[in-house]
Structure 1
Amino acid sequence: MTSRLSPEDQRRVDEYLSAPQHRVERRPFRPWLLLLLVVAVTIGLGLLSRLLSGLVL
């Protein structure tokens, strides 16, 4: 895919992206951990809801 930027603008973008503050090492994305977290939060909030409803009613 060719760039729609002019060569000068592309050079500026390349300089911006190669700056040290834009080169952050990130851990790989782990979807199973995210799914586990969502399920745990959902179960926890459900249990909290049941506990509160038992105290109120």
Structure 2
Amino acid sequence: MPSRLTPEDQQKVDQYLKLPQHQVERKPFRPWRLLWMTLAVVIVLGILSRLLSRLVL
């Protein structure tokens, strides 16, 4: 796909992206970890909800 930027603008973008603050190494995405954390939060909130309902009723 051809760039819609002028060569000067593309050069500015390339220089910006080469700055050290944009070169951060990221850990790999772990979907299973996200799933387990979400499940844990839902379970804890469900238990908390049941405990609060017993206190109110």
Structure 1 length as normaliser, TM-score? 0.95
In 1, Cα distance between equivalents of 2:27 and 2:44: 27
Matches of 1:42 and 1:13, distance apart in 2: 42
Q: What stretches of structure 1 move > 3 A for 4+ residues in a row? A: none
CA distance in 2, matches of 1:10, 1:43: 49
Unpaired runs of 5+ residues, structure 2, are none
What are the equivalent positions in structure 2 for 1:1-57 lying under 5 Å apart? 1-57=1-57
Determine the C-alpha separation between the residues in 2 that align with 1:38 and 1:2: 41
Question: How far apart are residue 55 of structure 1 and its match?
Answer: 1.2
How many correspondences in the alignment? 57
- Distance in 1 (alpha carbons) for counterparts of 2:55 and 2:48: 11
User: Runs of 5+ in structure 1 lacking a partner?
Assistant: none
TM-score, scaled relative to structure 2: 0.95
CA distance, structure 2, for counterparts of residue 4 and residue 12 of structure 1:
14
- What SS does the corresponding residue of 1:21 show, helix, strand or coil? helix
